[in-house]
Amino acid sequence: MDRFESLAAFVEVAEHASFVEAARRLNRSPPAVTRAVADLEARLGVQLLTRTTRAVSVTEAGQLFLAGAKRVLADLDDIEQAATGRGHAAIGELRVTAPIVFGRLHLLPLVTEFLRGYPSVSVRLFLTDRPTDLVEEGFDLALRIGDLTDLSAIATRVGSVGRTVVAARAYLEARGTPATPDDLAAHDTIAFGASSDRPRWVFHHGSHQSAVAITPRLIVNTAEAALDAALGGFGVTRVLSYQAEAAIADGTLVSLLDAFSDEELPVHFLYPASLHPAPKLRTFLDVAVPALRARLKERRGGNSSG
């Protein structure tokens, strides 16, 4: 196998943890795939895979190499499409990442609708709340909420989201309903993603801004956990508005302090800078950008700054 075939063999083995499955997908014999990966490791001088009689796993060096290998193969596919006259057609796998809840609620429906219209495209959607590196991890597109830190990438704004303070009705009946942000000092609070033991919740009321120091009884690292604790009647929490949307709609959580708004967080699509974005990416953006702008505007009551 040549160098690109060796890369393809390694990627398939790494993703499926099996030489046999990789061979089946590549239409090669298992010994041929084994030799290709061994030749690649010998050329690099590092071990990419750990092999036992029962399992195959990717080494730390292999994890670093995997993202780059996938990116090289994707670039080769795009070049071949352009050279064979398929360069204007949406084809191939599109790798997309987004925050977990936002991705499930808002991006996934757009992805499935897109796939119905473009049968030659497949999408690998990776939902995570941790920061991802577009280039290093081989993503074609990322959805970001908040201020952008990667200034080397191309960003397309699709709207904004705010935060909301919520609590269960049973908790409010027992402890009372806060009328102003300062009233939160008398309540049990649940902090989500706090960077310190004493986070500050910022509120706006007209032209006045106040930052209220919260002493949380509970700090969690996911919005789902914060909402679960609030649903259980433990206390008051603040999450991004879309994260609590369903619970507010069905009455299991009550939205609080609505007169005291928080700053809007921008929502962007972000993709690596390129003179010639792949047709699959351009086509997806043509479909997803206006659709997501409409979804966010609708949920902001027509006031989204998309």
**Which one-letter amino acid corresponds to residue 261?**
S
Q: What separation, in Å, do the N-terminal and C-terminal C-alpha atoms of the chain show?
A: 49
Rounded distance between C-alpha atoms, residue 71 and residue 84, angstroms: 20
CATH fold for domain 3-83? Arc Repressor Mutant, subunit A (1.10.10)
Give the pLDDT of residue 276.
Answer: 62
**Which one-letter amino acid corresponds to residue 190?**
I
Side-chain half-sphere CA neighbours of 273 within 13 A = 5
Among 100, 147, 103, 148, smallest CA distance to 271 is for 148
Give the pLDDT of residue 153.
Answer: 85
Looking at the whole model, is its pTM more than 0.85? no
CATH of span 163-256 = 3.40.190.10
Neighbours of 168 (CB within 10 A): 20
Contacts of 132 (CB under 8 A, 6+ apart): 97, 126, 139, 142
Rounded distance between C-alpha atoms, residue 179 and residue 287, angstroms: 43
Among 20, 41, 44, smallest CA distance to 32 is for 20
Among 200, 234, 238, smallest CA distance to 217 is for 234
Domain 94-161+265-299 has CATH 3.40.190.10: yes
Tokens of 214: 């919260």
Same topology between domain 3-83 and domain 94-161+265-299: no
pLDDT tens for the 306 residues of the chain, in order: 578 888 889 989 998 889 998 998 888 898 999 999 999 999 999 999 998 877 899 998 888 888 788 778 777 766 666 565 555 678 889 999 999 989 999 999 999 999 999 999 999 999 998 888 887 788 899 999 988 877 778 899 999 999 999 999 999 999 999 999 999 999 999 998 755 566 889 898 877 888 898 889 999 988 889 999 999 999 999 999 999 999 999 999 999 999 987 778 999 999 987 656 788 999 999 999 999 999 898 766 544 333
Domain ranges of the chain: 3-83, 94-161+265-299, 163-256
For tokens 């007209």, name the residue. 206
Contact between 57 and 49 under an 8 Å Cβ cutoff? The reply is: yes
